[in-house]
Amino acid sequence: MKEEKVFVTGGAGFIGSSLVRQLIDGGRLVTVYDNLSTGAVENLPPDKSMRFVEGDVRDFGEVCSVMKGHEFVVHLAAQAFVPRSYSFPIQVSETNTIGSLNVFIACLKNKVKRVVHVSSSEVYGTAENVPIDERQSPNPASTYAVSKLAADLSAQTMACEHKLPVVIVRPFNTFGPRDTCPRFIPEAIRQCIKEPVVLVGNTKSSRDYTYIQDTARAIVLALEKEGTDAEVINIGTGKAFEMSGILEMIKHYTGNEDKEILLDAERLRPNDPPVLISSTTKASKLLGWKPEVEFTEGLRNTIRWYLRNGKTWAYEKRSWNEQRALEFYG
């Protein structure tokens, strides 16, 4: 039986590296295409079923060439850290919007059988109703969210105009081992373990968190399930936790209940949606998916991974700062 070949953009990133593992475990041959702006080669498994190509989705010719011979594509490559879009709006839009269009056109030219485009719950912004289902009108509140919504619309337009066999999945917040950006949970874990105080932004917002293995499994199912072309499918648990409560859990699980928490104004986000909770109906109906890892179990797993892997996230190794971004996007 011929082994399926899957081309994964952004495969060295947080979600991508877990997805790659699941694809390999399922018997696929995987090519990871990543520019390593936030991804890390050490996130990837040393497996003969995987090859790594360093490249950028903004380079259409290279994307098209490396993709050749692959039957399936998962498009994850993006500048996915919302605060980065405040400082680098043009560069983030070039990657997330134009880069996505490059991938979609390359898929058409290479006649791939199926494309999964990974979007974001951020496109919904402040929701009119919760839980948020796929019929809700997008209301993006950041340059990042606008760039992701533009990519979604491009995917749907390519499906309509050119029969691109694409399905769009919108994960709500994902957490777990091998995170590559200083998002709330990895930063709270890092600071609770390493810093004298914990600096936070808005802790009153509530988010629907899905454990990384469940998010990756949903993407695999979207790749496998037929009859979902041009569909948008939310991926979330249908439950939300307030950030302040998550922080208290992390303090408890790391043995730092007495650690002081201070507001850091630089960590506040303009127009931060107060609540993001996903409807689970469509993912259950079309993909047969539901989350398997409960939040507190996933949080403990994440903390254990951090402690067993040198107490270091990938972004700590590369010193997350503006200069690092300028190396790739300046």
Q: Distance of alpha carbon 327 from its chain centroid, rounded?
A: 22
Residue 8 to residue 156: CA distance in whole angstroms: 20
In order of their start, the domains of the chain are 5-181+212-236+277-293+321-329 (3.40.50.720)
pLDDT value, residue 84: 87
Q: Which residues share a beta bridge with 276?
A: 207
Residue 223 to residue 280: CA distance in whole angstroms: 18
Q: What is the pLDDT of residues 231-264, one digit of tens each?
A: 999 999 999 999 999 999 999 999 999 999 999 9
Residue 194 to residue 180: CA distance in whole angstroms: 18
Q: What is the pLDDT of residues 163-201, one digit of tens each?
A: 999 999 999 999 999 999 999 999 999 999 999 999 999
Q: What is the pLDDT of residues 17-67, one digit of tens each?
A: 999 999 999 999 999 999 999 999 999 999 999 999 999 999 999 999 999
Is 60 exceeded by the pLDDT of residue 326?
no
State percent of the chain over pLDDT 70.
96
Omega within 30 of 0 (cis) for the link into 131: yes
Residue recorded with tokens 């390359």 = 106
Contacts of 84 (CB under 8 A, 6+ apart): 92, 144, 325
pLDDT value, residue 327: 47
State percent of the chain over pLDDT 90.
90
133: nearest Cα among 82, 170, 173, 174: 170
Residue 54 to residue 212: CA distance in whole angstroms: 23
CA dihedral over 153, 53, 144, 248, signed as positive or negative: positive
Is 70 exceeded by the pLDDT of residue 329?
no
Residue recorded with tokens 């047969």 = 288
Q: If phi over 0 gives left and psi between -120 and 50 gives alpha, with beta otherwise, what is residue 171? A: beta
Return the minimum-mean-pLDDT range out of 27-36, 76-85, 172-181, 321-330. Answer: 321-330
Buried-exposed string 240-253: b where 16+ CB fall within 10 A, e elsewhere: bbebeebbebbbeb
Token pair belonging to 301: 């797993």
* 235 exposure class (CB count in 10 Å sphere: 0-12, 13-18, 19+): buried
180: nearest Cα among 30, 324, 23, 6: 324
For the chain, the average pLDDT equals: 94
- Label residue 320 by pLDDT band (50, 70, 90): low
* Cβ 246 vs Cβ 188: under 8 Å: yes
Mean pLDDT of 299-313: 97
State the Cα torsion 159-164-165-169 to the nearest 10°: -60
Q: How far apart are the first and last CA of the chain?
A: 46
Q: What is the pLDDT of residues 290-304, one digit of tens each?
A: 999 999 999 999 999
> Which residue has better confidence, 129 or 2?
129
- Label residue 318 by pLDDT band (50, 70, 90): confident
Helix (H) or strand (E) holding 104: helix 99-109
State the Cα torsion 203-81-135-104 to the nearest 10°: -170
- For the chain, the residue count is 330
Q: What is the pLDDT of residues 112-146, one digit of tens each?
A: 999 999 999 999 999 889 999 999 999 999 999 99
Is 60 exceeded by the pLDDT of residue 111?
yes
Token pair belonging to 87: 């400082």
Residue 94 to residue 118: CA distance in whole angstroms: 16
